[in-house]
Amino acid sequence: MTVQNPSSVPAFTQAMHHLQQGQTAQAMVLFQDVPAGDPGFVTAQLNLGIHAHYQQQWQEAEQYYKGVLALAPQHPQCQQQLFILYKTLQREQPAQQLMQHLLAATHGDPLLWQQWAETLAHYGEVNGALSCWAHAYRLQPDNPQPLRAMAQRLEQQGRIQEATEQLQQLAQMLPEDLDLLLHLVGLLKQIGKHTAAEAYLRQRLVEHPQSQPLRFALANLLMDQGNLAEAETLFRQNLPDHLLSQLNLGVIYGRQGRYTEALHLFRHANAVTPNHLFTGYNLAVLCLQIGQLDEAQALLEQAIAHHPQQVALRNTLGQVYARQLKFTQAIQCFHAALQQQPQCESYLQLGTLYRNSAQLAEAKQCNDQAVLLDPENLEARTHQLFLAHYLPDAHQAQMLAQARAFGQLVAGRAKPFAHAVPASPPKPLRVGLVSPDLRGHPVGYFLESIVHAMDGQRIMLCAYNSGPPGDALTQRLQSRMAHWRDIEFMSDAQVAQLIRQDGIDILVDLAGHTAKNRLALFAWKPAPIQVTWLGYSATTGVSQIDYIMGDPYTLRAHEAAHYVEKMWQLPHSHLCFTPPDLELEVNALPALQQGFVTFGCFNKLTKINDEVLSCWAEILQRLPSSRLYLKQGIYANAEVAQQLYARFQALGIGAERLILEGGSDREGYFRCYHRVDMALDPFPFPGGTTSVEGLWMGVPLVTLQGNRFMAHQGESILQHAGLAHWIAQDRHAYVEKVIAFAKDLPALAQLRHGLRQQVLASPLFDAPLMATDLMQAWEQMWQIYQNGR
């Protein structure tokens, strides 16, 4: 390092000349000849110290630096070099003392302060560096460099709020720097200050009305906020030569269910730029969404050939293979993605694939690995919790701990609203329902008849749909709602503010830890009373949810410790199914014509764990002429079917005893019950929707008593259906009951004949009763809240 300090002393002058020529050895000899009284002595000693420093002659370098500081105590470059020396030698105490001494200095050279800032930042002294940059800015307020450096370092440290404040000052200083503005907008969005970001963009767009980047940024922001109409207008203004605007316009169409328009845009973009990463990927994602799987597969395979390092392409292709029931290819795809770059998303997709094919140990391993890799990923936590309900050896204490960990994560990200208690109860109570499943889905089937039976003068229902565009059932549900909000692509903060503005009194979660849930929203406490019900039968772990609703059979007093929520028992069933709109009668008992009993289970393969399989195999062995009919879409995969045949074969049950069948449309599915004499409920995760549907078709079931809400579901259904004697206390009783019922065909035939009418008259189908129970529960919850209890 060269130090310039012209001198008339020949030795010093010659030394500097040699140094400038790169003749370091000669320069050092001459520097040693510079006498102590010479004006260049300090500079000579400093250069000797620097040379010793570079030669790793640490002690000699320190002596030179200290000698310089004895003569010139405020020499900034010598202080900097000595600090570097101390840091190199890991001598933290003198390094810190020197840094504090430096920060107390008052010299007014902003360039030196910036140099010191860079040095401190390089050695990890971020706060000291920030102080130096701030001092440099105070000395030279028209210089943007210190602000830029502070903002960059703060952002690197994750101190986004502070970085944003520096960038805001910088944006005022450099109003024409649009790249700076766009970066500021990105940070404002990151910390949830969407209104400020929007204001910046709108102001600059007035000043630069033809700026495509500004229009694109504002349109993106509006799209994120759910303002799709204005976002669409802005994206259109950037057409036809702005590719990303074209692609995002297609994304808007996809969100709105305008799939034909979206396909047209994406296909046009892909034709114009066929090897662009985003054109093929966006088209493939849309094709996956609407079920055009072959096209999605071809697009993704082509994209991977051109962009082999993009892990997202392999993850999405794995999802396509899974939807096509090509499980071997899907597994290979996810493993390739993990080998390329271990990611939480890849583990979750692979875990889902294993879960759906009943490889529960492998699924658990994937989910646990995802949580280890990204412990703050809420989806990973949800996968972990949901899978636990399928595991026979899951421990309640561990499930509760995992749920609490989820709750703590979402609480740490939320800013809960405060609520004032009104003097009188609102009339009607405004109840908000949050769900991704307000469509042809079990939640929709259970909900439809209930909402039609609600008294609008007592309860005003509002829906917050976190799922995709719906179907005919969605339209029927929507007709019963005072407000319908599509929130799938809105942030928790935005939805919480919307719910607050809508004046919701009681907010009801209908998803729990299932796909596309919005449990994190509840941590914001947008409504004074919050409840979980229907979609998930366990604690959410979110302490801001006040109640979990069930019934006397699913919520047991001695199990209260299972929940972070308070238990609320409805007086009758916590489920009420909507009778299918099908002209389909109950047929005679198939066994009377077939000459053998056909057991059935139309639940997910995931629920058929090894303990369930062993139990069913024993039943089939003791009833040698019986058959077992299993139906689910996944059985259309020959590999999955063969694996299940092999599991039964290992227990002595041949393939000729089994009927495995893939999926059907809704009417076809119900017709399949005409072939079933009796249903077998899996455990510890019993059926819900399938159980009630089977009862409606005249098919009774045997269930096993459980030890937690989810495991109690079969008990609750049978108790309310008037079939309490079909509940087994243990595995032995389960087997014996099945065999006893199967041997009494006249009784089974008689039960089948009257079972539909029996369950239609029960709380399981009594929508007015269920609506009354819910309205009373919500009104009582409000009264408790108002009374401060």
Per-residue pLDDT averaged across 200-204, rounded? 96
Q: What are the tokens at 387?
A: 């899978």
Q: What is the CATH number of the domain that holds 393?
A: 1.25.40.10
SS3 443: helix
Residue 16 neighbours by CB under 8 Å, 6+ apart: 2, 4, 6, 7, 27
233-to-63, 252, 646, 694 alpha-carbon distances in Å:
70, 11, 58, 50
Q: Which sign does the torsion angle of CA 497, 501, 505, 510 carry?
A: negative
DSSP structure class, residue 512? S
pLDDT at 752 over 90: yes
24 CA to centre of own chain: 60
Per-residue pLDDT averaged across 164-171, rounded? 94
* DSSP letters spanning 213-238: HHHHHHHHHHHHTT-HHHHHHHHHHT
**Amino acid of residue 714:** G
Q: What are the tokens at 75?
A: 């020499």
Band of pLDDT at residue 1, cut at 50, 70 and 90: very low
Band of pLDDT at residue 109, cut at 50, 70 and 90: confident
- The sheet carrying 459-465 orders its strands as 483-486, 459-465, 429-435, 506-509, 529-532, 547-550, 566-569
Range of the domain at 486: 414-569
Find tokens 């701990």 and name the residue.
401
Cα–Cα distance for residue pair 706/611, rounded to 1 Å: 14
Based on the domain organization, do 326 and 419 belong to the same domain? no
Cα–Cα distance for residue pair 238/683, rounded to 1 Å: 56
Based on the domain organization, do 512 and 633 belong to the same domain? no
Please confirm whether the linkage preceding 110 is cis (ω < 30° from 0). no
pLDDT per residue over 430-474, tens digit each?
Answer: 999 999 999 999 999 999 999 999 999 999 999 999 998 889 999
Give the total number of structural domains in the chain. 4
Strands 598-601 and 566-569: unpaired
Residue 369 neighbours by CB under 8 Å, 6+ apart: 347
Cα atoms in the Cβ-side hemisphere of radius 13 Å centred on 239: 14
φ, ψ of residue 282 in degrees (nearest 5): -60, -40
* 785 located within any domain: no
Q: pLDDT value at position 15?
A: 85
Q: Which of 678, 675, 707 lies closest to 695, judged by CA?
A: 678
Cα–Cα distance for residue pair 433/55, rounded to 1 Å: 72
* 575 located within any domain: no
Based on the domain organization, do 233 and 372 belong to the same domain? yes
Per-residue pLDDT averaged across 770-776, rounded? 99
DSSP structure class, residue 103? H
Based on the domain organization, do 285 and 320 belong to the same domain? yes
* 4 located within any domain: no
Based on the domain organization, do 388 and 457 belong to the same domain? no
Which of 515, 535, 569 is the endpoint of a domain? 569
Band of pLDDT at residue 107, cut at 50, 70 and 90: low
pLDDT at 693 over 50: yes
Residue 676 neighbours by CB under 8 Å, 6+ apart: 590, 598, 599, 600, 629, 694, 697, 699
Q: pLDDT value at position 16?
A: 87
Tell me how long the chain is. 789
**Amino acid of residue 154:** L
Q: pLDDT value at position 88?
A: 83
pLDDT at 756 over 90: yes
* 789 located within any domain: no
Based on the domain organization, do 364 and 461 belong to the same domain? no
582: how many CB neighbours lie within 10 A of its CB? 12
Cα–Cα distance for residue pair 240/699, rounded to 1 Å: 60
Q: What are the tokens at 276?
A: 């662009």
Based on the domain organization, do 466 and 323 belong to the same domain? no
pLDDT per residue over 543-583, tens digit each?
Answer: 999 999 999 999 999 999 999 999 999 999 999 999 999 99
Per-residue pLDDT averaged across 51-68, rounded? 89
- Beta carbons of 513 and 382 less than 8 angstroms apart: yes
Cα–Cα distance for residue pair 742/677, rounded to 1 Å: 8
Looking at 455-526, list the stretches that DSSP marks H as alpha helix, in order from N- to C-terminal side: 472-478, 492-502, 519-522
Based on the domain organization, do 233 and 215 belong to the same domain? no
pLDDT per residue over 120-146, tens digit each?
Answer: 788 788 888 898 889 889 989 999 999
Find tokens 């609320």 and name the residue.
568
pLDDT per residue over 641-672, tens digit each?
Answer: 999 999 999 999 999 999 999 999 999 999 99
**Amino acid of residue 186:** G
pLDDT per residue over 78-87, tens digit each?
Answer: 887 887 887 7
* 782 located within any domain: no
pLDDT per residue over 316-345, tens digit each?
Answer: 999 999 999 999 999 999 999 999 999 999
Per-residue pLDDT averaged across 389-396, rounded? 95
pLDDT per residue over 487-532, tens digit each?
Answer: 998 889 989 999 999 999 999 999 999 999 999 999 999 999 999 9
Based on the domain organization, do 447 and 520 belong to the same domain? yes
pLDDT at 789 over 70: no
Cα–Cα distance for residue pair 766/776, rounded to 1 Å: 16
φ, ψ of residue 624 in degrees (nearest 5): -60, -25
Which of 363, 398, 433 is the endpoint of a domain? 398
Band of pLDDT at residue 242, cut at 50, 70 and 90: very high
Q: What are the tokens at 592?
A: 């009377």
Per-residue pLDDT averaged across 57-85, rounded? 86
Based on the domain organization, do 548 and 608 belong to the same domain? no
* 74 located within any domain: yes
Based on the domain organization, do 94 and 145 belong to the same domain? yes
Q: How many helices (H) and strands (E) does the chain have?
A: 37, 13
Based on the domain organization, do 24 and 160 belong to the same domain? yes
What mean pLDDT, rounded, does the chain reach?
A: 94
Q: pLDDT value at position 335?
A: 97
Per-residue pLDDT averaged across 599-608, rounded? 98
Q: Which of 740, 562, 587 lies closest to 673, judged by CA?
A: 587
Q: Which of 358, 279, 344, 295 lies closest to 315, judged by CA?
A: 344
Q: pLDDT value at position 11?
A: 83
> Is 654 exposed, middle or buried (CB count within 10 Å of its CB: 0-12, 13-18, 19+)?
exposed
Band of pLDDT at residue 202, cut at 50, 70 and 90: very high
Q: What is the CATH number of the domain that holds 505?
A: 3.40.50.11380
Cα–Cα distance for residue pair 499/504, rounded to 1 Å: 6
Q: pLDDT value at position 225?
A: 85
Which of 499, 534, 569 is the endpoint of a domain? 569
* 786 located within any domain: no
* 775 located within any domain: no
SS3 141: coil
Share of the chain above pLDDT 70, in %: 98
Q: What is the CATH number of the domain that holds 752?
A: 3.40.50.2000
Band of pLDDT at residue 5, cut at 50, 70 and 90: very low
